[in-house]
Chains A and B, each alone.
Chain A
Amino acid sequence: MNNVDMSDWGLPSRTNYPYDAPSAIELIQAVEECITEEVLPGSAGATKWKLRIAANALKIAVREIERGNSHRDALETIFNDLEVIDEPDLSRKIKEGDYDDRFEMLQEKLLSIVAMKLEVANPSYFKSVQNP
């Protein structure tokens, strides 16, 4: 035993006490990679289509877990700027015309919120604005 080099046996510190590793996000990532790299290449037709949707759904879940905290903080700041407490409150005030004199400002703030959602749901969707 003494002859074995154990210098690289140390494990990365766990991020999810008291649970063991892999963490939730790591498990989801592992399943996603298994689908994409091992199962998908050998599938066809409707099964292939469903597996693509499944892998993509898992990628969304991973991004949501990764970004969730920072997005919630950013959302809080936007709500403060708009003097609302949450999305339903913002919806109500838009309907009541509270921002009609600040339409462009509202547009920019909404775009910041939607950008966070899209970053999680489908980051490849962003693009530069085109002309008709």
Chain B
Amino acid sequence: MSNDTVFGADWLELRLEEILGITEVSKLIRLSGGANRETWSFEASTKEKCQSLIMQIDRDGMDRLNGTCERESRILQIAKLNGVPVPTVVTSGFSGAPGSRSFSITEKMQGETIARKILRDTQWQKAREGLIHDMAKALAAIHKIDKRRFVGIELSDIRDPLLSLTSIYEALNDPHPTFDFAFRWLRANQPEISESTFVHGDFRLGNLLIDSSGLNAVLDWEIAQFGDPIQDLGWMCVRAWRFGNDQRVAGIGSYHELIDSYGQESGRNVSTTTLLWWEIFGTLRWGIICLQMGGDFRKGRTNSLEIAAIGRRVAENEYDLLQAIREVIK
């Protein structure tokens, strides 16, 4: 939790004065959501105007996540310059206090991020209709950004995604036979990786801001990296990101809609087989992330009940992996 001395209203006023002039901060409220960081909304009033802003802060005590908010703000600025819909960054940096955590402050954009609402409420009906196309268009824009724009930002370049995922899994030292089974199948059936582009890494409902007409902004760039662009497509097909709906892509659309829209926008011809491989890879990846996050609780790095409960979601992914692979081998 933030306290009044760091990341509080006084601290914010001091920070914002350099950028916005004399500023009064009010309505500082912690928002729910986001297991890896704190998100706060507040209003910043200057002589001229009052702006609604969002502050994000690295989760306390998590070395693995240190600096992610500051790094993300630099990525946001590059994405914005390259036509990706993202919030404008106001400022970012480090708290400067002992155990320094990074933060970013951005404009607050209008819309909804809660996936279950977007998928079910009638007010988002119109937005849902064009959403697969909006998402495909945003992904194409993300994948088109020249990699050289990111000079100076530490981004991994994942040439062998299975090897990189294996190394995380092995480091956790908690054997899950179904994961080993999935690794073996994925390795035997891996499509050729043709290119490496900038990828978002966590592109799905929950990380997308939707307004009444469709996709308004792409959020949560904390695991952006370089790699095969199709991984971003497969990721949003993972069952966890359908949020209880049946439709394969983000709980909204079909493989064909996604493949067609993304094809139009990016010029890439994605096969169903390749998309399915990345969906299964994504399921394994989410399963391992659940194991890792649950592990943060087991190792005492967090006492968050939400994180503890994520540890029990490993089984959901094991189930999906076995079902998906059974479909393919039959």
Contacts and interface: CB of A to CB of B under 8 A. Distances in A.
* Physical interaction between A and B: yes
Contacts of B322: 107, 110-111, 114
Contacts of A97: 184
A106 to B, nearest CB: 6
B167 interface: no
Interface in B149-207: 175-181, 183-185
Interface string A101-132: 00110110011011101101110011001111
Interface residues of B, number: 34
A87 B183 CA distance: 16
Describe A's contact surface by its main secondary structure: helix
Contact of A45 (B32, B185, B305, B308): B32
Interface in A45-70: 45-46, 49-50, 53-54, 56-57, 60
Given A107-B181, A117-B315, A91 B176 contact: yes
Contacts of A126: 319
Contacts of A100: 184
Interface of A: 45-46, 49-50, 53-54, 56-57, 60, 87-88, 90-92, 94-95, 97, 100, 103-104, 106-107, 110-111, 113-115, 117-118, 120-122, 125-126, 129-132
A55 to B, nearest CB: 11
B181 A129 contact: no
B316 A121 contact: yes
Given A110-B178, A114-B318, A122-B315, A103 B329 contact: yes
Contacts of B319: 111, 114-115, 118, 125-126
Given A95-B184, A114-B318, A114-B319, A54 B305 contact: yes
Contacts of A132: 248, 255, 272, 276, 327
A91 B177 contact: yes
Contacts of B175: 87-88, 90-92
A100 B187 CA distance: 13
Given A113-B178, A132-B248, A107 B326 contact: yes
B313 interface: yes
Nearest to B330: A104
B309 interface: yes
Among B276, B322, B326, B329, chain A packs the most CB atoms within 10 A around the CB of B322
B323 interface: yes
18 contacts: A45-B32, A57-B305, A60-B312, A90-B175, A90-B177, A91-B177, A95-B180, A104-B326, A107-B322, A110-B181, A113-B177, A113-B178, A117-B318, A118-B316, A118-B318, A120-B315, A121-B312, A121-B314
